[in-house]
Homo-oligomer: A and B are copies of this chain.
Amino acid sequence: MLKTPYLLFLGDAPDQLAAKVAQGIRHWRPESCVGQLRFPGCNADVGLPDMTVEEARKAGDQTMVIGTANRGGVISPAWLETLVAAAEAGMDIASGLHNRLTALPTLVEAAERAGTRLIDVRVPQQEFPIADGKRRTGKRCLAVGTDCSVGKMYTALAIEREMRNRGMKATFRATGQTGILITGSGIPLDAIVADFMAGAVEWLTPDNDPDHWDLIEGQGSLFHPSFSGVTMALIHGGQPDALVLCHEPTRSHMRGLPHYALPSLEALRNLALETARIVNPDVRVTGISVNTAALAEEDARKCLEEIEACMGLPAVDPFRQGAGRLVDALSA
């Protein structure tokens, strides 16, 4: 969907956290990045050469990606001049923010004149079929979580990287806006119309070589009442051979829902297996990915040991330890 390489737009990012999307792209797809564009006073830096629009274009840039978010997650009026310049220079522009590039008339006119594309990755870019549930060739691994935002995207990307490092055939399949910007393609599942959710996931993970792995980015949680339907469509559309459970051990309640406790990993394993077996009787849970960012090193080690002993499955924090043991288990 997106043409590489990218110029990452950091603009007036007030701090490093505001450039999270750019950092993700830089971390997972360094080969897709030619540089970063920062305004004077920008407080973020993702370690790429600073470039103007003109310099980036000369360096071969095809797309400027909005890699930052101001408060509210919207496109700032202060960015407009630079966005217009990028479009006029012949770059596509891609954004995952809430308000749309295509809702900015000045920018739309500039892009039309230059024949470049404005790509709002939160907006589905095509129509999808209704799922048919047919068995597909190739292997699929889906990350499912005890909650939203527990590291499902990170886990799938870490597994993809480890598999590729080992020479295995592997493709991360993005289902959310950050994942789409990182890899340049995917589906914004939470913006797809209900009837077509599972069909979109099938479309995203088509027949493939028998030894190829799709690493499917998870969304929501079967236990999160706001988004469980999206998760269910991922499980049934994704037809996973393997599930990796994702968990954040210090979370006191479901994200955004103070009145809901997190499920246990056992409960997640059971419900995820039960639902996934409907489309793939041979599905297995192969490992557990624990986001221990909130724990000190020693506490993290203990936490992982306990989970591993209790669940009888490899439990790792891929950020601290890499995804090697998760890939070992998938390859077994």
Contact = CB atoms under 8 A, between A and B. Distances in A.
Given A199-B226, A225-B278, A271-B274, A233 B132 contact: no
A85 interface: no
Interface string A190-206: 11111101110000000
A256 B275 CA distance: 19
Given A133-B257, A225-B278, A191 B193 contact: yes
Nearest to A236: B225
Contact of A226 (B131, B223, B229, B257): B131
A134 B259 contact: yes
A187 to B, nearest CB: 10
Contacts of A257: 132-133
Interface in A117-146: 130-135
Interface of A: 130-135, 189-195, 197-199, 222-223, 225-233, 236-237, 254, 256-257, 259-260, 263, 271, 274-275, 278-279
Interface centre among A133, A257, A271 (most CB of B within 10 A): A133
A132 B260 CA distance: 10
Contact of A197 (B222, B229, B236, B279): B229
B230 A236 contact: no
Contacts of A197: 194, 229-230
Contact of A278 (B190, B193, B223, B230): B223
B192 A226 contact: no
Contacts of A229: 194, 197-198, 229-233, 236
A198 B223 contact: no
Contacts of A199: 226
Given A225-B131, A229-B230, A259-B134, A191 B198 contact: no
